Amino acid sequence: GQNIDQPTEMTATEGAIVQINCTYQTSGFNGLFWYQQHAGEAPTFLSYNVLDGLEEKGRFSSFLSRSKGYSYLLLKELQMKDSASYLCAVRLRRQLIFGTGTRLQVFP
């Protein structure tokens, strides 16, 4: 079976930096996505990694190590609006398999 793990919940302070980890054991791998999802809404695309290394996009960065089956999403200069769930998803040949999701709460 497919296994994608993330911490269930995290808290952080406005202006701080937070790192959300994702480990995966899947039958295949064609890239890893990070999505943000606010309550009651559909996920929105944040990043996509297919090669090892760090991808930076503004306040958000995502890292991938394929040999370790590991990725993280780094959020800098946290804002209150960053309070949301963050979903890690592995792309298999034809589909996306989602992780358990991490609920991030940002406090003032």
Q: Which stretch binds other proteins (CB under 8 A): 14-22, 60-68, 72-80, 100-108?
A: 100-108
- Please give the C-alpha separations between residue 105 and each of 6, 11, 65, 82, 108, in angstroms, as whole numbers: 15, 5, 26, 8, 10
Q: Binding to other proteins by residue 104, rule CB under 8 A?
A: no
Q: Binding to other proteins by residue 51, rule CB under 8 A?
A: no
> Least distance in Å: CB of 78 to other proteins?
22
Please state the separation of Cα 70 from the chain's center in Å.
Answer: 11
From the list 29, 48, 60, 70, which residue makes contact with other proteins (rule: CB under 8 A)? 48
Q: Given strand 53-57, what is the order of strands in its sheet?
A: 3-5, 18-25, 70-75, 60-65, 53-57
From the list 20, 87, 90, 104, which residue makes contact with other proteins (rule: CB under 8 A)? 87
Cβ–Cβ under 8 Å, residues 78 and 58: no
Q: Binding to other proteins by residue 103, rule CB under 8 A?
A: yes
**Lookup: tokens for 59:** 């306040």
Residue numbers of the site for other proteins (CB under 8 A)? 30-31, 40-45, 48, 50, 85, 87, 91, 94-101, 103
